[in-house]
Amino acid sequence: MPDKDAAVIAAVAKGLEGVIAAATSISSIDGTAGRLTYRGIPIEELAANSFYEEVAYFLWNGQLPTQVQLDQFMANLVSMRTLPDNIVAALKLFPANSSGMDMLRTVISLLSVSDPDEENNSQESNRRKALRLMALFPSIIAGFHRVRNGLEIVPPDPVLGHAANFLYMLTGEKPDPVKVKGIDLYLVLLADHGLNASTFTARVIAGTEADMYAAVTGALGALKGPLHGGANQGVMDMLDEVGSLDHVDAWFDATMAGQRRIMGIGHRVYKTEDPRARVLRRVSDEMGYAVGKHDLHEMALRIEQRALSHPHFVERKLAPNVDYYSATVLYYAGIPLDLFTTIFAMSRIVGWTAHLIEQYADNRLIRPRAQYIGPDYQPYIPVAERTVEKLAEVAQSLHMSMSQS
Ligand code: SDX
């Protein structure tokens, strides 16, 4: 029974599957070929040659920076890393067992109230906010971790790059180059990915002309879910549950018998291997040897091999997505498990803000339609007459009339 307007609504595309809801020039995904580009540069080329700060500049500006532009961009980023006093105070209010994503979502809201430009949606203001958010995400996440462990917050080191500085603020130690490279690659690979659930959420909020902080807060809410950014923690929980390589086969058989989903596998768009998973598999393999815990990578690999040869996955074209080997890479880099999804956010803040800048530049309120499937009419019954029998009678007649329509 469609909405009561003249418009005739086609069948509902559950989960908006296959619906083209925006035009974008930021990233392109070919789910059949397993191809991802950022503004036309294949993700494999960026992973091999670039680094996160340069990718951020590229995603925001649409062209690669000259050395002078890159140096200025990185200097501006470094100048914005220090946590404001009100944020330091707020970090001390969270219980130690708070979810990292709940903390991040809350702190970004608090950040907005101290920005005099909060409501200014001009390109110039939003570019400054985007840089501020990119600079502060690592400081907020590391600061939260230090405070909840009763440790002093480590001030940012202006000499270190984005990934290195984050690991330094997290641990208070000069970071291992292997871990820095792993985190930087991770940040490059997850920076943007078309109209995924959290980016779409952000664009819907910007579509009402609410501010960038409000849109990013909404995106953080969406990313937390285990079907989206929360899957990387789910993969690590799964590997913990398996325990060892020789338990993989029994675990896999029991999982399939119990019809449980394997986190990190499957994708709404990719019907072949996610190109980011291909790079992360190699990074995970190399880091596993470097940190002396390659057995975890071998477990993930064995589970993947079992899945890729099982009819349930083959028939549905399910393959590892970006979260699958993200789990081992983040673990090898020493990231605490309950902060895994915040690191996904630390990368995706660049994609979210790039899409927001694009949305504000050519905005129209995003407002789809719904197919109404409730009763066409039912009478109002005064409360004095609402006996259990009467309400049951009304429910029965509604059920009958709806099953006949
Ligand atoms: C990200 O959109 C993006 O771009 C997201 C992302 C990004 O960069 O932003 O790529 C990041 O979020 C990656 C996805 C992380 N999520 C997970 O790894 C969670 C596990 N995967 C899924 O639950 C699932 O594959 C989704 C949510 C990712 C996609 O779900 P869809 O497209 O809605 O597919 P579906 O749930 O309708 O499943 C279709 C079939 C079902 O079986 P049948 O009903 O046909 O019998 O495939 C099965 C599902 O049971 N299936 C799985 C499975 N995923 C789907 N079976 C076992 N294990 C799985 N992981």
Cα angle: 356, vertex 362, 366; to 5 degrees: 70
Q: What is the pTM of this model?
A: 0.95
Q: Report the C-alpha gap between 294 and 332 in whole angstroms.
A: 9
pLDDT at 6 (0 to 100): 45
The domain limits of the chain are: 3-11+369-404, 14-228+339-361, 232-329
**CA 323 – CA 312 distance, rounded (Å):** 20
For residue 296, which of 348, 238, 349, 341 has the smallest C-alpha distance? 238
Q: Is 5 an annotated catalytic residue? A: no
**What single-letter amino acid sits at 376?**
D
Query: Does residue 83 line the site of ligand 1, with CB under 6 A?
Result: no
| Dist. CA 329–CA 221, nearest whole Å | 24
CATH class label, 232-329: mainly alpha
Region 161-187: mean pLDDT is: 98
The verdict on the CB of residue 224 being under 6 Å from ligand 1 is no
Is the minimum distance from the CB of 219 to ligand 1 under 6 angstroms?
no
Q: How far apart are CA 121 and CA 298, in angstroms?
A: 48
Backbone angles phi, psi at 41, to 5 degrees: -90, 125
> Which residue's CA is the closest to the ligand 1 atom numbered 28?
267
Residue 227 Cβ inside 6 Å of ligand 1? The answer reads: yes
Could you tell me the distance, in angstroms and rounded to a whole number, from the CA of residue 321 to the centre of ligand 1?
9
Residue range 287-317, pLDDT digits in tens: 999 999 999 999 999 999 999 999 999 999 9
- Is the distance from the beta carbon of residue 78 to the nearest atom of ligand 1 less than 6 Å? no
Q: Residue 279 CB: number of other CB atoms within 10 A?
A: 22
Cα separation, 156 vs 131, in Å, equals 16
Ligand 1 atom 20, closest CA: 263
CATH of domain 14-228+339-361: 1.10.580.10
CA neighbours within 13 Å on the CB side: how many for 275?
A: 20
Q: Which residue puts its alpha carbon closest to atom 10 of ligand 1?
A: 322
Residue 10 clears pLDDT 70, i.e. is over it: no
Active site residue 162: no
Condensed to tens digits (0 to 9), the pLDDT of residues 367-388 reads 999 999 999 999 999 999 999 9
Tell which atom from ligand 1 comes closest to the C-alpha of 235. Answer: 18
Query: Which band of pLDDT confidence, cut at 50, 70 and 90, is reported for residue 8?
Result: very low
Q: Which residue type occupies 24?
A: T
